[in-house]
Structure 1
């Protein structure tokens, strides 16, 4: 049972969450013609009358760009203002997750992006830990990540997540917590909703954008923080065998934050994770607005 925030933004107004309903004939429901975002919010530990949002501007920019793939003009500044108003309307008192979604709202039956209405909604729910902070187990999925030549992978398009759903269920039903997907070239790509990093010989390594990954905002944050800490970061293709002999492996994303990996398939990974721990501690402090150097990453909303 999810604890949804009481109000949603739906059809250009704020309504009670349970009133924000779409038709069963909605185009996006049938064809996946939608794009979404996701960002976390937390009450400010220093001031309960404020809410902190991590990298709000980047999230709004990415969703605006995703909307372009749907042939829809949704400016980032409009998304941002709606999210700010949404938070003020709901006045959340616990850590929460915001889900904005742009979609083809028309009731047409033909798969298309032209000559069909588009709409935008926002809802939220309380959210604690998405994955265990103590570490997780992963399997290599039998499902492969789509290719950019056949799918707009730089957008967070809802239809893409059928692969994530297949891989996640396959992993859980075979005794693992999460799945790691390969791309069509057989290189490591990402997890079902997270980017992946490995540590080898003190260097932080992650698949580059040319490996059909999502342009993750938490991924970008980890890279910048690591570089500021003097850690060498390398973006390149990663082979499957490197996962098994890595010094550290972790997943990162808005929901997952930074999740260390204990085991991949039947290979156990070292329990000492100095770089992962250092990055997780730093990112956590930043999201709590406790690091002056990264204050521009934290958007503060006054609830009164």
Structure 2
């Protein structure tokens, strides 16, 4: 059961969430011609009249870039202004998630991106832990991550998430929590909606952009944070078998935050994960605006 925030942004105005409805003939519903973002917010632990959003500017820029991929010009500063007002109108009092979405809003039946109306909406819902904070089990999916030559993977294109959905359901119905997808070169790409990291001999390793991954904002934050903590980081191709012998493996994303992996296929991961825990604690403190060196990552919104 989802607890949606009461106000949505829809058709260029703020309306009650229950009134933000689409036609069954909406083009994006049939062809996956949309793109979405996702960002978290929390009430400021030190100021009851303030909300904190994590890396709002980066999320708005990525959505603006995603919109370009469906032939829609939507400036990042406009997205940011709407999300800011959206938060002020909803006044959330606990951890929440914002879903902005750009899409082909016309009612035509031809698959295309030209000569068709586009639009933008925003809604939100209360959200705690997306995955178990204690860790998850993973299987290697039989489904393959798409290639950038067949789909623009630099954006969060809604149609692409059929593969994520297939992989997630396959994993859960076979007794696991999450799926790890390989790319067409049989290298590790990402999870169903998260980037993946492993640690070997004190080194933080993650697949690079050339491995058909999403340009994750949490991923970027972790790499920056690790380097600042003196942890060596490497972005390179990763083999499936390397996951089985890693010292630590974790998933990262806006919803998942940092989630340790307990088992991959039949291979248990070590029960302790000191680097994962260190990064998670630091990132949590940053999102709560408790780390002065990272204040520019946190966007405060005054409610009064």
Query: Match of 2:169, SS?
Result: helix
TM-score normalised by length of structure 1 = 1.00
- Give, in whole Å, the separation in 2 of the partners of 1:170 and 1:11: 36
Quick one: distance in 2 between partners of 1:302 and 1:135? 34
* Alpha-carbon distance in structure 2 between the residues aligned to 1:150 and 1:126: 35
Residue 272 of structure 1 deviates from its aligned partner by: 1.2
Q: Say which SS state the counterpart of residue 49 (structure 2) adopts.
A: strand
Q: What residue in structure 2 maps to residue 123 of structure 1?
A: 123
Q: Secondary structure at the match of 1:4?
A: coil
The answer to whether structure 1 residue 66 and structure 2 residue 93 are counterparts is no
User: Deviation string for 1:243-274 (max 9, x for gaps)?
Assistant: 00000000000000000000000000101111
2:47 maps to 47
Q: In the alignment, does 2:103 pair up with 1:103?
A: yes
Task: Check if 1:242 corresponds to 2:258.
Answer: no
Q: How many residues align?
A: 304
1:10 aligns with 2:10: yes
Is the counterpart of residue 33 in structure 1 residue 33 in structure 2? yes
Pairing 1:250-265 to 2, within 5 Å after superposition: 250-265=250-265
SS of 1:277 mapped into structure 2: helix
Q: Name the SS for the 1:48 alignment partner.
A: coil
Structure-2 separation of matches of 1:102 and 1:225: 31
What stretches of structure 2 of length at least 5 have no aligned partner? none
- Quote the residue 2:202 is aligned against: 202
Tell me by how many angstroms 1:92 deviates. Answer: 0.4
Post-superposition Cα deviations, 1:194-221, rounded to whole Å, max 9, x if no partner, equal: 0000000000000000000000000000
Task: Kindly report structure 1 stretches of 4+ aligned residues shifted beyond 2 Å.
Answer: none
**What's the CA shift for 1:121?**
0.1
Deviation at 1:300, TM superposition (A): 0.1
Matched, 1:79 2:79: yes
Cα distance in 2 between the residues matched to 1:124 and 1:133: 22
TM-score, L = length of structure 2:
1.00
Distance in 1 between residues matched to 2:74 and 2:61, nearest whole Å: 10
Deviations 1:63-87 (A, max 9, x none): 0000000000000000000000000
Structure-1 separation of matches of 2:207 and 2:59 = 21
Q: CA deviation at 1:174?
A: 0.4
Structure 1: how far apart are the matches of 2:91 and 2:269? 42
The corresponding residue for 1:21 is 21
CA RMSD of aligned residues (A): 0.3
SS of 2:199's equivalent in the other structure is strand
Structure 1 Cα separation of the partners of residues 76 and 160 of structure 2: 22
> Tell me, which stretches of 5 or more residues in structure 1 are unaligned?
none
Q: Cα offset for 1:182?
A: 0.2
Residue 156 of structure 1 corresponds to: 156
**3-state DSSP of counterpart to 1:204:** strand
